[in-house]
Amino acid sequence: MSDITEKPIPPEDPRFLSGSESLFRATSVAVEALRTLPTTARPIVDAADVKVPEGYTVEAIVAGLSFPCGMTVADDGTVFVAEGGTTWPTRPWMPSRLLRIDVDGTAKVLARESEGGLRGVAWHGGYVYAMAKGGYKTRLLRFDAETGERTVLLDTMPDGGWHEPGGPVFGPDGLLYFGQGSVAQQGVIEPSGFTVDLARHPDAHDVPGADVTLTGDNVWSFDPIVPYAEMRQTGAFKPYATPAKKDEVIKGEMWCSTGVWRCKPDGSEAELLA
């Protein structure tokens, strides 16, 4: 059992994104110690609370993670865990980290992600692949499983909104499959839906995967980023407060919203599947 904690580091500190192991503490404790944790949010971590089929047992291995949202296991049993850092995709709060837990229980920070956070992860051939969101684009990343060296394979999926990327997963064909959710809920940026942080991402909008002809119908809403709210019109596949015109054609793009893609492990020969 480990309790992973870290001293707060100001963003301007160069160590904030360094991945320095000296800023990472993992302490093995007895099961009894997990019943009286010094936190009001969850003072007890009891693996017996998890219901599993007969014949199975559950053991707490790591506690104290910051929004863990992905895990993968290497062939030798090494476990990699992605900490998203925050549940709100456009507003990073805690640092997003990729943790490595060796078979002997040794834990360390393998890498950090500065903008937004890591989501799903997959191990393949000595690398950890990860989807990460934050800003206007979702990223497909590759980390060296030993050194943590980071490579951006793709930085192309429209983002800046609520919905999450999916994957990555490797298929039996050896190709890498991944997806990206929509920016808004219905293709239209609406403040009432809390789908986009308009102050940070005013240009965020959905992108269709095939040509779409608009009807010219627009959604009216109060502008939340002006002192005295005014009514704005917003059309489908448009940034907020940008109206659509009747019979306007929005061209479909390879890198669209709500898409599923696949590519080679090095990020090449990507294709849109759906």
Please name which of 19, 17, 270, 252 lies closest in space to residue 156, comparing C-alpha atoms: 270
Q: Measured over all CA atoms, what is the biggest interatomic distance in the chain, rounded to whole angstroms?
A: 67
pLDDT of residue 6: 42
The token pair at 83 is 């900490």
The list of the chain residues with pLDDT below 70 reads 1-26, 87-93, 193-195
pLDDT of residue 67: 84
Q: For 130-166, how does the pLDDT look when each residue is reduced to its tens digit (9 = 90+)?
A: 999 888 899 999 999 999 999 999 999 998 887 889 9
Q: Evaluate whether residue 186 is within a structural domain.
A: no
200/223 same-domain check:
yes
85/42 same-domain check:
yes
pLDDT of residue 13: 46
Cβ(99)–Cβ(88) below 8 Å: no
119/203 same-domain check:
no
Radius of gyration (C-alpha) of the chain in whole angstroms: 21
**34 is in which domain, residue-wise?**
2-181+258-272
Angle at 10 between CA 9 and CA 13, to 5 degrees: 90
Give the integer Cα–Cα distance in Å for 225 and 205.
17
pLDDT of residue 66: 81
pLDDT of residue 163: 86
Q: Give Cα 159 to chain centroid, integer Å.
A: 11
161/242 same-domain check:
no
Q: Name the pTM for this structure.
A: 0.84
Cβ(209)–Cβ(172) below 8 Å: no
Single-letter amino acid, residue 243: P
Question: Helix or strand or coil: residue 178?
Answer: strand
Burial of 22 (0-12, 13-18, 19+ CB in 10 A): exposed
120/71 same-domain check:
yes
pLDDT of residue 114: 76
264/237 same-domain check:
no
132/146 same-domain check:
yes
